[in-house]
Amino acid sequence: MALRRSRDESRRGSASSLVIVGLANPGEEYAGSRHNVGGDAVRLVVQRRGGSLKLESRQRAMSATISTPRGPVTFAVPVTFMNESGSALPPLLRRTSLDDLTHLVIAHDELDLDPGRLQLKFGGGLAGHNGLRSIAQTLGTHDFARLRIGIGKPPRKEQVTDYVLKRPSGVRRDELAANVAAAADALEMLLDFDFEEAQRRVNGA
């Protein structure tokens, strides 16, 4: 599916073969929280590959483009709050000349998967995730890939907001860091394999 553009939005940049976006809330207050695991996984991959995320002019996401065997791959973390993540996508996709949204991957936290579980999938529902909802509304489609990073659920439903937004401590903090590292490993598989093979390896782990 091609991204719709208005006449004044036709400026394009260097083409990327894949765009991987990690969702997170900005600011120190939310750093290291469960809701930020998607952004943290993207940051870790960029660090491993010797790159650095930067905010380009007129963009709403920090981004870095990395050379890979499959061509240039752009990694990005929106600088918007989670429920406005979609607003970062149009300028990012224009700059990376990505028309085919099947080559867009969104990494995000997932309450419906146990901590440490990962699932790479294409399309599907939004599972109440405000970041995914914003992106789907902006793009006009659910047809993009997702890396779902399991964070589990709190004991009581009313604790969900604190559970996802507050930084865990102690053993739980270490477990979350391990989950982020595993998610970064999964994203790197997309650099080495086609989607179906990466999906088989991630989901079968």
Lowest mean pLDDT among 38-42, 69-73, 105-109: 69-73
Helices (H), 10-104: 37-48, 89-95
Average pLDDT, the chain: 91
Whether pLDDT at 62 is above 70? yes
Q: What is the DSSP letter of 177?
A: H
CA 124, chain centre distance (Å): 16
Question: What is the per-residue pLDDT across 152-179, written as a single tens digit (0 to 9) for each?
Answer: 999 887 789 999 999 999 999 999 999 9
Q: What's the confidence (pLDDT) of residue 205?
A: 58
Residues 62-80 as b/e (b if ≥16 CB within 10 A, e otherwise) read bbbbbeeeeeebbbbbbbb
Q: Side chain identity at 133, as an amino acid letter?
A: R
Query: In the annotation, is 129 catalytic?
Result: no
Q: Which domains does the chain have, with CATH numbers?
A: 17-203 (3.40.50.1470)
Q: Mean of the pLDDT values across residues 82-87?
A: 96
Of all residues in the chain, the percent with pLDDT exceeding 70 is 93
The string of pLDDT tens digits covering residues 139-155 is 999 999 999 999 999 98
Strand partners for 154: none
Position 123 scores a pLDDT of: 92
Helix H or strand E segment including 54: strand 54-55
Check residue 13 and give its pLDDT.
Answer: 63
User: Would you call 134 helix, strand, or coil by DSSP?
Assistant: helix
